[in-house]
Amino acid sequence: MTRTILLFGDSNTHGTMPMPDLGFGGRFDRDERWAGRLARLLPDWEVIAEGHPGRTTVHDDPVEGAHRNGLTVLPALLESHKPLDLVLVMLGTNDLKERFSVNACDIALSLERLVRVILSSGSGPGNGAPGVLLVAPPPIREVGCLAGMFAGGAAKSDALADEIEAASRRVGVPFLDAGKLVTVSPIDGIHYDAEANPVLAAAFAAAIRAHFG
């Protein structure tokens, strides 16, 4: 029986390429993205990629639009794709933008809130709770065209994995630290180079098999 996983993320789930300038809109081909590769590694799963560039955990973005608030859109996505066996959550990078003025602890608490929404949503099989895999994104670097936007974010991001792992323990869901697998591109310090895609896909597939059969 085919099971369903929702990938709930931001531009790095969308497949955005590293940006040499702010007007750049490149996106990896569908088969090259880590989400597309994951689908091939999990032939018995339906893999739904829901990556929105600029998506935050719980914040309305005053510059890029309130619709980038992950907490606002999450209930509709859960209902739209119900029943879901699993939701992979990889967010928090955009919360590091200077405009939000939040620290690593607050970002982890925001992710914890999202996980609790998923677990109480009734969007799993038989109106139960979907499984959740909580992923910490890799630390960012303040370089290139996005450096000003993320000013002060690099130091915060170095503490993010430990805070998110603690949040995963509080809500009782599996955790994976993507920062131990890949690094951000030196071009913009936020997005991943092509070499990261197969690494992430393989690691996510292994974690899904290990924790969810």
HSE at residue 155, side-chain half, CA atoms within 13 A, is: 6
Phi then psi dihedrals of residue 141, to 5 deg: -135, 145
Mean pLDDT of 110-124: 98
Q: Given this model, what pLDDT does residue 177 score?
A: 98
Confirm if 210 and 49 have CB atoms less than 8 A apart: no
Would you say the pTM of this structure is higher than 0.85?
Answer: yes
Task: Report how far apart, in Å, the C-alpha atoms of 50 and of each of 60, 91, 149 are.
Answer: 18, 11, 24
Q: Given this model, what pLDDT does residue 182 score?
A: 98
Q: Given this model, what pLDDT does residue 11 score?
A: 98
Q: Given this model, what pLDDT does residue 213 score?
A: 86
Q: Given this model, what pLDDT does residue 40 score?
A: 98
Total domains in the fold of the chain:
1
Mean pLDDT of 203-209: 98
Q: What CATH number corresponds to the domain at position 199?
A: 3.40.50.1110
Q: Given this model, what pLDDT does residue 134 score?
A: 98
Q: Which tens digits make up the pLDDT trace of 144-199?
A: 999 999 999 999 999 999 999 999 999 999 999 999 999 999 999 999 999 999 99
Q: Given this model, what pLDDT does residue 183 score?
A: 98
Q: Given this model, what pLDDT does residue 1 score?
A: 84
Q: Which tens digits make up the pLDDT trace of 25-52?
A: 999 999 999 999 999 999 999 999 999 9
Domain enclosing residue 9, as ranges:
3-212
Phi then psi dihedrals of residue 194, to 5 deg: -55, -35
Mean pLDDT of 124-144: 98
Angle between the N-to-C axes of helices 104-119 and 160-171, in degrees from 0 to 180, rounded to the nearest 10: 30
Q: Is the pLDDT of residue 121 over 90?
A: yes
Mean pLDDT of 99-106: 98
